[in-house]
Structure 1
């Protein structure tokens, strides 16, 4: 099997589980070394034990501003370069706005929006200097439809959708591709926070995606010829109906 990402170093945030873990495994299979960024050191060590030296665990609390700012220098110290950033870490607040905890709103907007912007801001000078790089952001189907049961979460993803499209226009001249992956509901820990009736409906209809299916699309985006950018991909279960 072709190792299409041989020689590349990728960073995946929120890498210990869900889409982040699946993306890591897809890139490893394609020959990349992957710096797995997460708060869960125990989980990272398990994955290092499973995949060997191609996995580089990096414990960072992205919600701590000082710790977040160490991402690029620590990646360069550990791996020497950065070719791919998959900004995947995120959290979820669903339900009626009037029932939402404002502290949870702050935390979600910080992780889903501010942290993504800061991570991309910090890695761009390295990629610009090398005249190459790929940035993929995990967005959501909620970035493309005003999902009535998750106004806070959907708003964070609408913001990120705009961020991806505007930053892409700034940096493509440097050989850097920027895109987003916008899946519908994926079987992951985030679904535990879905409204119970909506989750039951999705399970009953078979309208959920596997994280590995999302990861295969991420790999597809990364392995196109350099003259092609997949700016955004919206993917959903065939049976899913908003």
Structure 2
């Protein structure tokens, strides 16, 4: 069992929906105070209100250095400390390479990769002063392990996050700060419901466990990385995908034993 995290302070970027909202909810349930950061002030407000009084909304675009600095100032003004950063904000618009524009590529890299860097840079003064801190980056299996048509820019950003994490872990270790990444596979979020039952069934069919992951599956792993029990783990990426990356072909899935 994890030791109590009650009273600690977490910032969750992209915290108003999807996996980010799951992270925010799990941290609140564990007793942390959470700054729920979203690009939309209304979405951040709605999520924080639903999560209760220990969740506070803040509107920021993590691609902006000024916005990230303001986010940190807000957390420090409210609670006087920052123990955990969940660098989760990300976008994934689809575009095939022959139709992808430079502006579309830059937008994804700016939010997903540069936004991770800027969020982390902003919390470092407070964490270094405290000689402790936990940083959890939301990467993906897409990019570091797998590919998917239309997501070359997204995959590049997610693979880039892992490269960033490894060097950042070395630089931050002397300050007692750890940084690790969660790498989700196909996760059931509100955005998937609009894609239809057939699409979801095909996704589930590519996973050995035959089901999509939940936001709680990702949030539980992030909570562990944020805990004292994970103090000696840094620079690592944890795949959470129900075994999706394991089959070498569709034939491997067809050969699975049927569970009675």
TM-score in same-fold range (> 0.5): yes
Q: Which sits farther off after the overlay, 21-30 or 2-11?
A: 2-11
Name the residue aligned to 1:182: 183
Name the residue aligned to 1:155: 156
Name the residue aligned to 2:15: 15
Name the residue aligned to 1:68: 68
The answer as to whether partners of 1:143 and 1:182 remain within 8 angstroms in 2 is: no
Q: How far apart in 2 are the matches of 1:89 and 1:179?
A: 15
For structure 2, list consecutive stretches of 5 or more residues without a partner in the other structure.
Answer: 249-260
TM-score, scaled to structure 2: 0.82
For structure 1, list consecutive stretches of 5 or more residues without a partner in the other structure.
Answer: none
The higher radius of gyration belongs to: 2
Q: Deviations over 1:114-172 (max 9, x none)?
A: 11101111111211111000001000012422514222211111111000111001111
TM-score, scaled to structure 1: 0.88
Q: How far apart in 2 are the matches of 1:175 and 1:3?
A: 18
Name the residue aligned to 1:106: 106
Q: 2:229 aligns with which of 218, 225, 230?
A: 225
Q: How many positions carry a matched residue from both structures?
A: 241
Q: Which sits farther off after the overlay, 3-12 or 38-47?
A: 38-47
2:117 is paired with a residue whose SS is helix
1:91 and 2:85 matched:
no
Measured after TM superposition, the shift of residue 199 of structure 1 is: 5.8
The answer as to whether partners of 2:65 and 2:118 remain within 8 angstroms in 1 is: no
Measured after TM superposition, the shift of residue 4 of structure 1 is: 2.1
Q: How far apart in 2 are the matches of 1:136 and 1:158?
A: 15
1:216 and 2:220 matched:
yes
Q: How far apart in 1 are the matches of 2:166 and 2:192?
A: 27
The answer as to whether partners of 2:178 and 2:231 remain within 8 angstroms in 1 is: no
Q: How far apart in 1 are the matches of 2:175 and 2:154?
A: 32
Q: Could you say if the C-alpha distance between residues 157 and 190 of structure 1 is closer, same or farther in structure 2, counting changes exceeding 3 Å?
A: farther
Q: Could you say if the C-alpha distance between residues 146 and 236 of structure 1 is closer, same or farther in structure 2, counting changes exceeding 3 Å?
A: closer
Measured after TM superposition, the shift of residue 95 of structure 1 is: 4.8
Q: How far apart in 2 are the matches of 1:145 and 1:226?
A: 24
Name the residue aligned to 2:48: 48
Pairing of 1:111-150 with structure 2 (within 5 A):
111-149=111-149, 150=151
